[in-house]
Amino acid sequence: MSEQADAVDLVDLLSVEGEDLAAAWVREVSGSLGRRVSAAELERELRELYEALVEALRQDAVDVHSEQMSEVRALLTELSRSRARKGFSPTETAISVFALKRVLEPVLRKGSSESVHAYLQLSRLLDELGLFTIETYTQTRDALITAQAEQLLELSTPVVRLWDGVIAVPLVGTLDSARTQVVMEKLLQALVDTGSEQAIIDITGVPAVDTQVAQHLLKTIVAARLMGAECTVSGISPQIAQTIVALGIEFEGIATKASLADALKLALRRSGVDLVAHRDGLR
Amino acid sequence: MHPVERNGDVVHIRQAIRALAQEGGLSLVDQTKMITAASELARNTLIYGGGGVVRAGAVAKDDRRGVGAVFEDSGPGIADVAQAMTDGWTSGTGMGLGLSGSRRLVDEFDLRTTPGEGTTVTIIKWAR
Amino acid sequence: MSERIPILRIGENLVVSVQFDLEDQTVLNLQEDLADQIVAHSARGVVIDISALEIVDSFVGRMLATVASISRVLDARTVVVGMRPAVAITLVELGLSLGGVSTALDLEKGLAKLRASSDAAQR
């Protein structure tokens, strides 16, 4: 019985000044977000949310998980996701909800004890909605991070064509077992696709390797040889050279060069290309 | 269930595993590794185990899905498992790369053998 | 009763293209036939095209290594061409690196490799 009455109070609280409250809400939020969300967009988002909230309360929604709140939840989910994608912080995201509490404070000052009660009730509901926003925000960020990690794995292993019949993979960053395996498969497929007999694996940008990664690189080189191509490893840092020796990894019979340029020279010589320097330079 | 009694049966097992690996969503490299491992083990069943049966199918554990195969014979069994698991096909005396090599090709490998009674090898390759 | 794979003769080279999944007996037959043909035609080179093969296990791998050794004894050179990336990765993992076997990306490059080595020998 009392719940029924409360719900009506909440609706009253929100619709006493009708349009004005929603407008004040938009002003409050846009103050904290700056210009990163367009005024028109913010206006639309918050007005939709406001209307949905009033409608949900009119239908006696008790808490955030109520059936009547489904429209509010959908709108909040959309809002949180869009904030997360645009790089807003969790605070900046949740403020959209909490700002409504601040907007209601003046109303409270004028009101009776019933409206104080209603305010507290609404405040509890808004807290729940705020938490819901943060939760959705976090889920979106987690999904983004996972997707980016996968993309990075793909992007960070480009196979480039340096010359007719010479391809190279410049490796940058830490190599783990999974990434090295991706490189291995991409490089070998590129040999077939481009008909290249020479491949250069440049590890100038790799700070360290462990036994497993070194073994994967070795296997790549042997596999390339089975397919009829030769690999040269360039840019081995002093630290990595020491690791290779200390770990007792067999690098016998594998061509290594200090720099990518030297490796390219070797690859060209192996594929029968002569490099001639003109004394006068290019004319 | 596939019998391994004749030379041609090894080819049939490769084909059956290939179909399962494709359905199971294994990557091309993982398919190739699984088929190759099955080929090695089926040949062992035929040559060293004097024939037997292979059971293969889709497997699932927790969130993972994959392809599994069981190679079973009632041959002489393996007296020295450790020796049989070492690389050494060049010596011509061991079981070749069959056991040790195929263990490297799959994610899970289980060997059970009793001298005089037979050998059962179970392998699984998970989809990634 | 098992199949035999046709062996083609191009100039002083023999060319074999393996088009389907091989039974062990067929693999052994091929090894035998190649040895016979190298002698019969005084072949200088052998190209084995395995680009159609989806898997190469230790049995086929060993045959390739053996044919390479046999041809060397008979003064011919063997080049294995067209191995797929997935097959190469699997063979390495299996522990077969086919040390003494020459390889090339495709049939054309394999024949070029044989030509280059016979030119070098005549010089």
Q: pLDDT tens digits, residue range B97-109?
A: 678 889 999 999 9
Domain range for residue C94? 7-122
> What is the third-level CATH fold of A2-151?
Globin-like (1.10.490)
Higher pLDDT, A184 or B36: B36
User: Per DSSP, what are the bridge partners of residue B4?
Assistant: B52
CATH code of the domain in which C90 resides:
3.30.750.24
The pLDDT tens digits for A100-152 are 888 877 767 766 677 777 788 888 888 998 999 999 999 989 888 887 777 66
pLDDT at A273 over 70: yes
What does the pLDDT look like over A153-211, one tens digit per residue? 666 678 899 999 999 999 888 788 878 888 889 999 999 999 999 999 999 988 888 88
Q: Is C51 exposed, middle or buried, given 0-12, 13-18 or 19+ CB atoms closer than 10 A?
A: middle
Q: Tell me how close the Cα of C28 comes to any Cα of chain B, in angstroms.
A: 12
Tokens of A164: 């007719």
Neighbours of A234 (CB within 10 A): 23
B25: left (phi over 0), alpha (psi -120 to 50) or beta: left
Q: Which residues contact A7 (CB under 8 A, 6 or more apart)?
A: A57, A58, A60, A61
The alpha-carbon gap from B66 to the nearest alpha carbon of chain C, in Å, equals 18
Q: How far apart are CA C63 and CA C56, in angstroms?
A: 10
Cα–Cα distance measured from residue C102 to residue C15, given in angstroms and rounded to the nearest whole number:
14
Per the CB < 8 A criterion, the answer to whether C106 and C39 are in contact is no
Residues of A in contact with C86 (CB under 8 A): 185
Counting Cβ atoms within 10 Å, is residue A281 exposed (0-12), middle (13-18) or buried (19+)?
Answer: exposed
ipTM topping 0.85: yes
Residue-wise pLDDT for C11-29, tens only, equals: 999 999 999 888 999 999 9
Is some CB atom of chain B closer than 8 A to the CB atom of C99?
no
Q: How far is CA C83 from CA A33, B43, C37, in A?
A: 59, 22, 23
Tell me the one-letter amino acid at A256. Answer: T
From start to end of chain A, where are the E strands?
Answer: 160-163, 166-172, 198-205, 230-234, 255-257
Total number of domains constituting chain B: 1
Closest Cβ opposite residue C92 in set A185, A196, A223: A223
Residues of C in contact with A219 (CB under 8 A): 89, 92-93
Residues A52-110: tens digit of each pLDDT: 888 888 888 778 888 888 888 999 899 898 888 888 888 888 888 888 888 877 767 76
What are the percentages of helix, strand and coil residues in chain C, rounded to 5? 50, 20, 35
Q: In angstroms, what separates the C-alpha of C119 from chain B's closest C-alpha?
A: 34
Structural domain count of chain C = 1
Does C1 reside within a domain? no
Q: What is the residue range of B88's domain?
A: 2-126
> Is A169 in a helix, a strand, or coil?
strand
Q: Which CATH class is domain A160-270?
A: alpha beta
Select from B94, B90, B110 the least CA-distant residue to B102.
Answer: B110
Kindly tell me if the per-residue pLDDT of B126 is higher than 80.
Answer: yes
Instruction: Give 10-residue mean pLDDT values along chain C (123 residues).
Output: 85 94 92 96 96 94 94 95 96 88 96 88 71
Domain of B84: which CATH number? Answer: 3.30.565.10
